Amino acid sequence: MVQGQPISISCAVQIHFDPQHLRDTYMAFGSYEAARQRYLLLAGNVVSNTAQDFVPQDFWSKRDIIAEKMRFKINHTLWTQGHAVADRFEVMKVDFATKFEDSITAIQVAEQSKVVNEYEQQVQRVVQQIEVMKSENNAMIANISAGADAKSKEIRAGAKRDAFALKQGMKARKYSELQKRLELSTDNLQEFFKIQVLQAQNKGNKVVVGMPSVGAAAQKVLGGRVDEL
C-alpha cells in the first residue's frame, strides 16, 4: 500500500555473503536456499515498508531516490540479520490499481489539455497582433500611396503650367520679333492673328481678307495664302 493505494513493485537485488561470517550464516539458515528465501523475505518487507513513505506520484518523479533509500535499508537489514551485503538494487516495475492509473491518466490528460489550450491562446494572441500590425501597415501604405499620388499630380500640373508659360512666353517673343521684322503696328498684328485664325478654320481653302498693305515681307510670311492685302 502507498498512501492508501494498492501497489505492486517488481525489483531486483544483488547480494553477496561476507566470507568472515559465512560459518555464522550457514549455522543460522542451514543452506543457501534457506538463506536466500530469508533474504528475499527481509528485502520484500523493507521494500513494502519504505514504499509507504512516498506518495504515488513519487514513483514517477523520484524513483531513483526511492530505489536508493530501499537499497540502503535492505543492506542494513540483511547485514544485521544475515551477514549479507546488498550491492545493487533496482526498481524494475511499479503497478497501481487500474482505477487509480486511469485517474492519474485523466489528470495528466487534463493538465496537458490545459497546457495545449494555453499555447493555442498564445498563438491566437500572436495571430491577432500580426493582423493588427498588418492593418496598420496597410493603412500606412495607403497613406503613403495617396500622398505620392497627390504629389505626382501636383508635379504634373506644375510641369504643364510651366510648359504652357514657356510656350506662351516663346510665342509672345516670336510674335514681337515678327512685328519688328515686318514693321507691323499693333492693329496690323491683330489683323495678322485674325488671318491665322481664319486660315486654321478653313484648311484647304483660300481665304480673302482686306487689310492695309504691309509690304512684300508680310506676303512672304503668309506663304501666299492671302490673295489680297
Q: What letter would DSSP give residue 5?
A: B
pLDDT at position 122 is 93
Calculate the alpha carbon distances from 107 to 8, 55, 103, 110 in Å.
21, 16, 6, 5
From CA 178, how far away is CA 172, in angstroms rounded? Answer: 10
pLDDT digit string, tens, across residues 56-90: 778 888 889 999 999 999 999 999 998 899 989 99
Say whether pLDDT at 221 is over 60: no
Task: Please state the rounded mean pLDDT for residues 153-173.
Answer: 89
pLDDT digit string, tens, across residues 148-161: 989 899 999 999 99
The CA-based angle 64-66-69, given to 5 degrees, is 110
Give residue 4's pLDDT band: very low, low, confident or very high (50, 70, 90).
low
From CA 210, how far away is CA 204, in angstroms rounded? Answer: 19
Say whether pLDDT at 104 is over 90: no
Query: 7-96 maps to which CATH number?
Result: 3.30.479
Question: Alpha carbon 185 to chain centroid distance?
Answer: 81
Which positions ≥6 away from 9 have C-beta within 8 Å? 47, 51, 91, 93, 94, 95
Say whether pLDDT at 215 is over 50: no
Domain-wise residue ranges, the chain: 7-96, 107-179, 183-229
pLDDT at position 100 is 72
Average model confidence (pLDDT) across the chain: 82
